[in-house]
Chain A
Amino acid sequence: MPEPMIRVRDLTKRYQRGGETLTVLNNLKLEMEEGRFYALMGPSGSGKTTLLNLVGGLDSPDSGELIVAGENLAELDNNDLARWRAANVGFVFQGFNLIGVLTARENVELPLKLTPLSAAQRRKQAETALQLVGLGDRMDHRPRQLSGGQEQRVAIARAIATDPKVILADEPTGDLDRKSAEQVLDLLVRLNREFKKTILMVTHDPAAAERAQSIVHLDKGQLGRIEHNQPAVAAK
């Protein structure tokens, strides 16, 4: 049986808020297979974004084991974690999180600067990624010159530019209108189907979750039910 892409064992994460300890994830156990598209659902405060941040190495757990892409994240220090993220993870955030002073191409090139590619190769790869998301004609636009949907597609191009194993998307359609949301979801489905990317997407939107192959429900920091859909579906 192949090694899961994401393995979570007895994962606990607590936060201090106003002198109180809040347990956001409580002994969570979960495994996610390579090449599948997962939607992570649950009410507010159920720990979805916290789990996403932990899986992406943006935050560290208080206890438990977290193995992603073959690496035990608890054993990595800050700098190793940063290097691991650069090589293995692509993020897509609800608020797009593009750097405002850079153009679309420059934003996409940014993670490529952590690779050994030459400037010309980086440029070519960034252009390829932007063309893949349908923004070949918007490369020199700055984020404020793009629509929300276009900004999110730039963010997806940036997430895939380094060809990561895992794409983590936190409410990627949350700030978008229906049409733009569909375009973004189509892209994610395509990345999963054509490029075999493992995708973990946090969403509140059942329609968005339907596009994933599996829906993982979290509740009060613990695993709820897991639903398995048909293989990832394109837009209807």
Chain B
Amino acid sequence: MFKLVFKNLISHPIRSGITAVSVGVALFLICLLTSIVTTLQSGLEAASATRLVVMSSISLFVDIPLSYQERIAKVDGIKNIVKWQWFGGYYQDQKNFFAQFAVDPDRMFEVYPEVKVDEATKQKFLTQRNACIVGSQLAAEFPEWVETGKIPITGALFPHPSGAAWDFELAGVYRSEAANFDNRTLFFRWDLFEETLKGEGEAPGVGVYVMNVEPGADIERMRAEIEGMFENGPATVRCDTESEFTRQFISMLGDIPMFLSWIGAGVLVAILLGAINAMLMAGREQTHDVGILKALGFTDGAAFGLLITQSLILCVFGGVLGIALAAALEAPITLALGAQFPGFFIKDSTYLAAAAVSLVVGLAAGAVPAWTALRVNCVEALRAKGA
């Protein structure tokens, strides 16, 4: 019987091929879309609930004063505080987009213990004014940085007073295994940033302050205290846990998970309809064969199996194709989406879900023709025109 299933499939190579490939492409897209969602979610899940982020209450794009740092640091329960400022520059060409931040080098590794660097890198970053560290993914994208140790970044938001690029020296490469901290960012020292711009008479503001807190600290009290502290100040602030901040940051991009889920559902429905159409055609063509099989003594169940197996083989083959494509392209996609979705990766559970989807599509697409084959009267089936 399997031989008949196989021969029926290869008797229409173009139709079978198109159906399998379209299922494969659809499942590849589903893997991709699902992984964007899971990448965003994993950042959210990994974000700490015991780290606090202070930002302007108006918007993330509004700076808060440098002078706030000292006052926030005195709040009971704060362990360390580090300031961040979005630099918004680019390397050589604007298409080379990645995040750069000016940070306090000495506090950085204390607030973010998940960021790992070797001791030499750390010492260089702590002591050399124009030193910077870059994430491992970024270092892989621009190997010339590691070779030369030089990273010229053109400041789009903060042009260098000389009109030239900011010349950073690579202290080393950091690695983060936590999903909330990507490996595609450049960090340089706040003192260089501040002093360079101060020379022009304008002290830069701070994007966000990030603090880690003492164990057992009363987070809610601290939040209220920090927000209340600047109620009448030059800039009001809001204080959130890192996980809440991350959630809000993602929501700034719109409801991406929902949007992507709808696209994924659309792709799924489209491919299901395509597969159903292909299987209905196969079912119609094989009605006569089903009549022959039944006349020879094959049961209704065997007739059902003939059609459902064809559908399953086509869709599972397509599924394997899609999963293989996703696995093969994961690295280039991670590179391509690095700027928008740093830390992009395809979970094993996504591959499993894709395999399950291919099975479900196979069953759903084959259900109608297989059920028709099961129910059709042998004499009527024999009267049907063969393929």
Contact = CB atoms under 8 A, between A and B. Distances in A.
B297 A97 contact: no
A111 B297 contact: yes
A120 to B, nearest CB: 15
A112 to B, nearest CB: 10
Interface string B1-17: 10110011001000000
B295 A99 contact: no
A82 B298 contact: yes
Contacts of B300: 78-79, 82
Is chain A's interface secondary structure helix, strand, loop, or mixed overall? Answer: helix
Nearest to B8: A101
Is chain B's interface secondary structure helix, strand, loop, or mixed overall? Answer: helix
Given A58-B378, A58-B379, A93-B382, A100 B297 contact: no
A110 B297 CA distance: 10
Nearest to B6: A101
A85 interface: yes
Contacts of B377: 59
B386 A100 contact: yes
A23 interface: no
A79 B300 CA distance: 7
B73 interface: no
B258 interface: no
A97 B294 CA distance: 12
B123 interface: no
Contacts, number: 66
A91 interface: yes
B4 A87 contact: no
Contact of B297 (A83, A99, A101): A83
A100 B387 contact: yes
B382 to A, nearest CB: 7
Nearest to A83: B297
A86 B296 CA distance: 6
Given A59-B378, A100-B387, A87 B289 contact: no
A24 to B, nearest CB: 12
Interface of A: 53, 56, 58-59, 78-79, 82-87, 89, 91, 93, 97-102, 106, 110-111, 113-114, 158
Interface of B: 1, 3-4, 7-8, 11, 288-289, 291-301, 377-379, 382, 386-387
Q: Which 9 A/B pairs are nearest by Cβ-Cβ distance?
A: A86-B297, A101-B7, A85-B297, A111-B296, A82-B299, A101-B11, A58-B378, A79-B299, A97-B292
Given A93-B382, A102-B4, A114-B298, 19 more contacts: A58-B294, A58-B295, A58-B382, A59-B379, A82-B297, A82-B300, A84-B297, A85-B297, A86-B297, A87-B297, A97-B288, A97-B291, A97-B292, A97-B382, A98-B292, A101-B11, A102-B3, A111-B297, A113-B1
